[in-house]
Amino acid sequence: MSVDAVLSRISEIQGQIDALRTGTVDTTSSAGSATSADASTAFADALATANDTGTGSTTGAAGLTAAAGLAGAKPATSVDAGKGTVATGSGATGADVVADAKKYLGVPYVFGGTTTAGMDCSGLVQTVFKDLGVTMPRVVPDQADMGVPVGSLKDAQPGDLIVPKGEQHIVIYVGDGKVLHAPRPGKDVRIVDNWYSDADIATIRRIVPSAQDAARTAAVGSAGAAGSGTAGSGTDLQTAALMALMQSGSAA
């Protein structure tokens, strides 16, 4: 299911919720009966279809949470990089990651370094996210566990992190088939053509929302606010939908 189709389904569910809220739906009719739990379940099923996971969930809010992939995850407002969630609390996007990383072009490679006097690959990554207010671990194997996985290079967005098999290096994808990294002793921080194929890669991680993710979330949130006049369960459902799409890579 495309993003547009999912957003259309969100709009339909929003309409059901608004009707329930204003009492314009006949909940006693067997043909037209609906409850908030029913809406949540239908919404979860729509998410499951969008994520190619089959039939959605159990009933109500618990089913929605499971479908959105949020059970047990850190709050979406966290400024710390977490496992299985994007960090949105700082307001930074993948475009900000790329812009900040470019400040360090030309800095010499120094093993263990994290400053403009010298930095290694993971030191560069940690420093860039620190500049943006997002806490990241120090070494590549730990950084490779943060955020949410991106399915393949074709789904990568600027600001995503690429970790090759063996987890001995990490690079920042800047878009257009290029990456930014601190290569090795004797070299400096630079942008080069990406030389990794999907077969070479252990994982691609999205730590903060991509610029596209952030724009879609803002658009849906604005539409929900305009439709209901207040922030409520409809907006929460829309946010959960976008989070599910970001986590699955479908919104890339």
* 181 a catalytic residue: yes
- Per annotation, catalytic residue among 7, 42, 97, 121: 121
* 121 a catalytic residue: yes
* 252 a catalytic residue: no
Closest to 238 in 3D by CA, of 90, 64, 48, 36: 64
- Per annotation, catalytic residue among 9, 181, 205, 206: 181
- Per annotation, catalytic residue among 21, 74, 102, 169: 169
- Residue positions annotated with a catalytic role: 121, 169, 181
